[in-house]
Amino acid sequence: MNNFKYSEIESRRFGKEIFRGNMDVLEIATLEKFYEHNDPDVLIVRIPVAEQHKMHQLNSLNKEIINADTLVYYHVGLDTTVHNPIRNEGLVFVSASSEHKSVFEQLVPKIFNNYTNHYFSNPVLDKQKITEGYTEWAINAIDAPGSFPVLAYVDNVPVAFITCSYNDNSAEIILNGVLPGYEGRGIYTDLIRYVKKHFSGMNIPLLKVSTQIQNFAVQKVWNKEGFILNEAFVTIHLNKKQSL
């Protein structure tokens, strides 16, 4: 499957024409056909890791090729997993609403400053705008249908957040993090335990989460909490050469 589409949000954020899509199979002919009718500044393509051996074929497209990241997905079955108790007794979880917008605006930039995702790998994309994108992403989760945004407080101070999406079949952790200075206390683990218990109580059978492969710390937490590596994808950026 491939579904290259114009990304209005990313194009507006970075001041570039950006398309993006997924390919189950990396087929150069499909990309060539796309470029017959489109010439974006950046095309973002995500492929299964099993297809990455074909990446050398991209050289025929006359684009700047960036192997931007490797994204790994972990799954846990909520009807079979062990639900461990919250360790930080003073940690308070609050379901976020529109009144918490300013809290996210304060938290997210500090948590995601210089976080290395696939945008960060592309030199034509403003790194400051990447952090702004994370803030926008978190705030948009507040009122979105099928969304579960949560803030965590220590002594009335917001120190962490987690946003999730869900339907009857599965839930997914979308964005999360702990404020620098509060790391190493098990707060992140408690966030994971909290949403596991929440969605289990809704009788949702599966919880998913993803991150860049180099983010080892969170993957260790997920393993301890019963998550198993399930999928991996390579993110490729194809830049128009004259845009460099």
Beta carbons of 149 and 138 less than 8 angstroms apart: yes
- For the segment 70-86, what is each residue's pLDDT rounded down to a tens digit? 999 999 999 999 999 99
The answer for 101, left when phi > 0, alpha when psi is -120 to 50, beta otherwise, is alpha
Which pLDDT belongs to residue 242? Answer: 72
The sign of the dihedral angle between the CA atoms of 87, 90, 95, 97 is negative
Which segment of 72-76, 82-86, 157-161, 240-244 scores lowest on mean pLDDT? 240-244
Q: Span 24-53, mean pLDDT?
A: 97
Which pLDDT belongs to residue 2? Answer: 60
| CATH fit for domain 5-71+234-243, picks 3.30.110, 2.40.50, 2.60.40, 2.60.120 | 3.30.110
Backbone angles phi, psi at 11, to 5 degrees: -65, -45
- For the segment 56-68, what is each residue's pLDDT rounded down to a tens digit? 999 999 999 999 9
CATH code of domain 76-230: 3.40.630.30
Beta carbons of 218 and 73 less than 8 angstroms apart: no
Which pLDDT belongs to residue 244? Answer: 44
Domain ranges of the chain: 5-71+234-243, 76-230
